Structure 1
Amino acid sequence: MLILSFGLVLTAIFIYLYKRYVPVFGVKCLKAIEIMQNDTFKIIDVRDFNYVHTTFPNAVNIPVAYLQRNYKELRGESVIIVASSHLEKNISVRFLMNKGIKVVGYEIIGTPCKCHKLKTV
């Protein structure tokens, strides 16, 4: 019984860490310039209101803490996420994808990445 309890605790810890720190497959890092030139996808800025010093044109600021209240506004949309950390990005991408919203890409402010070009359909 003790081994089973220990296994369940380890599984819960693994799932918690996985959702927060493992990147979501298929969601690409994008350059800021590509995001600003894009008119096809909706830009969602998930940074906290207090930390949004630079904004993207036409971006909607919905902090991670408020995604659960406001995700219904995004139904049927393809979105690009702007975040301040990998943790914010991972949590918001997983949440939105679980709710059926297509997340095309992301930008983490102040963090360079090996970016892919955005393909518009």
Structure 2
Amino acid sequence: MLVLLILLSSVFLYMMYYRYFPVRIKQWFSQEVTSGYIVVDVRDYQDSSKGVCDDVVALPCGYIRRYFSDIPDGPLLVMGGNQVECNVAVRQLTRLGFTVEGYLIIGSDKKCNEYLSLG
């Protein structure tokens, strides 16, 4: 019984860490982003499709492991709707071998093409 309790507690603590413990990379702002970075929009498709950005890869968190081969090589910036999305995406991409330089938080009501200017 004690072993089962320890096992369940360990799984619960890992899940809490994976989602809510902040990642140790810099939060960027839209003015700092240049065309030298690949921006991965990890918001839901309903939110990321509101404003189409040609230079941004739209790939929600749930699809990263399946479609990570669609992401070009280079330094990445993760763009999410909240801190939890950014934490999960950064951890998944880092585990898959990508170099994540930072993250951006953009509201779900914001359009990508109005928020970023990757010129």
Seen in structure 2, the aligned counterparts of structure 1 residues 72 and 42 have a Cα distance that, compared at 3 Å, is: same
RMSD: 1.6
Contact 2:57 2:71 in 1 (8 A): no
Seen in structure 2, the aligned counterparts of structure 1 residues 60 and 30 have a Cα distance that, compared at 3 Å, is: same
Matched letter for residue 91 of structure 1: V
Output the TM-score relative to the length of structure 1. Answer: 0.79
1:49 matched to 2:45? The reply is: yes
Secondary structure of the corresponding residue to residue 63 of structure 2: helix
1:22 matched to 2:21? The reply is: yes
CA distance in 1: counterparts of 2:8 and 2:105, whole angstroms: 32
Secondary structure of the corresponding residue to residue 78 of structure 2: strand
CA distance in 2: counterparts of 1:75 and 1:57, whole angstroms: 14
Q: How do 1:1-121 and structure 2 match up within 5 A? A: 2-25=1-24, 27-35=25-33, 38-52=34-48, 53-54=50-51, 58-74=55-71, 76-110=73-107
Q: Which runs of 5+ in 2 are unaligned?
A: 108-119
Farther-moved stretch of structure 1 (69-78 vs 4-13): 69-78
Output the TM-score relative to the length of structure 2. Answer: 0.80
Identity of aligned residues (%): 26
Q: Which runs of 5+ in 1 are unaligned?
A: 111-121
Secondary structure of the corresponding residue to residue 65 of structure 1: helix
The residue number in structure 2 matching 1:119 is none
Say how many residue pairs are matched. 106
Secondary structure of the corresponding residue to residue 97 of structure 2: coil
The residue number in structure 1 matching 2:114 is none
CA distance in 2: counterparts of 1:33 and 1:57, whole angstroms: 18
